[in-house]
Amino acid sequence: MISQDDFSLFDPQKMGASVLPDKPSNYIIVLRNTSSLPIKVQISTTPILTSFDYKEEKYNVVYVGKSSKSLRIRDYNQHFTGTAGYSTIRKSLGCLLGFKLIPRDINSPQNGKTKFNETDESVLTEWMKDNLLLFHYANNDYADIEKELIRIYNPPLNLQGNFNKINLNFRKELSALRSCTSTKQNSMSDNLLTSNAYSQYIQCSNCGINLTIDEGLKNEEYIKCLSCGCIVQNTIYMQNKNLKSASNLNGNLNCSKELEHYAS
């Protein structure tokens, strides 16, 4: 089992990226002792944080991750100096700060990939350096260790691979926030049904407004209604998931029948 003593501290205010390992690693991102998550939006659940102990200090864990190639060259730069288009923690923190998502790719605005505008990305970079610390551990078992770290610390900003019921509602609300671009927000608020290459609609169970499920939203399990703020389960996502499961089942059955045929 991995020990907290295996990790080394990196302070983005005092250290340069050159001290980080240029090799596969695991990392834990924590809040400084004087900091808290920046919840500047309407969200009904306050996450419960667990602590990482380091040299008799306790730090609240917000995110854990793995770097399959180089923590120094790739992951650190993406998270702390990059854009939300390539960093899940940046996107989560920016949404909590109230920043509006915009399409990441100008030439493919409907591909569902998003970021923040240049000014917001700059503010976010400074916020992260001022409020976060990073603990890192170079190793080659990063995939299994990441799963173990998520299980142990239940970081609220890890939306994938986190099955802990504690903070589940917070993760649902954050996921819904992350699914909305400024274009989608305007169209939903005005109750306009915009047609595109992919467009289906679900109805908010609270206020009854029609919510547009376009290409960028069809794979989101939960959607936030920007009219009333209610978190709604995306029935389109569930239908597609059920259809996929049924298709896989039929494929397995057909394969079994073929095997039986050849066996006979």
Task: Give residue-wise pLDDT tens across range 157-209.
Answer: 999 999 999 999 999 999 999 987 654 444 333 333 233 334 476 777 776 55
> 217: pLDDT confidence band, cut at 50, 70 and 90?
confident
Domain boundaries, the chain: 4-175, 182-264
CA 4 to chain centre: 24
State yes or no: pLDDT of 252 exceeds 50.
yes
**Percent of the chain scoring above 90 in pLDDT:** 59
Better-scored residue on pLDDT, 209 or 89: 89
State yes or no: pLDDT of 71 exceeds 80.
yes
Does residue 226 contact residue 176 with C-beta atoms inside 8 Å? no
pLDDT at residue number 191? 38
Looking at 119-128, 136-145, 245-254, which range is the least confident one? 245-254
Instruction: Name the pTM for this structure.
Output: 0.70
**Percent of the chain scoring above 70 in pLDDT:** 79
- The three-class DSSP label of residue 123 is helix
CA distance 256 to 264: 12
Better-scored residue on pLDDT, 51 or 43: 51
Tell me what the pLDDT averaged over the chain comes to. Answer: 84
- The three-class DSSP label of residue 90 is helix
Looking at 9-18, 154-163, 251-260, which range is the least confident one? 251-260
Does residue 166 contact residue 117 with C-beta atoms inside 8 Å? no
State yes or no: pLDDT of 263 exceeds 90.
no
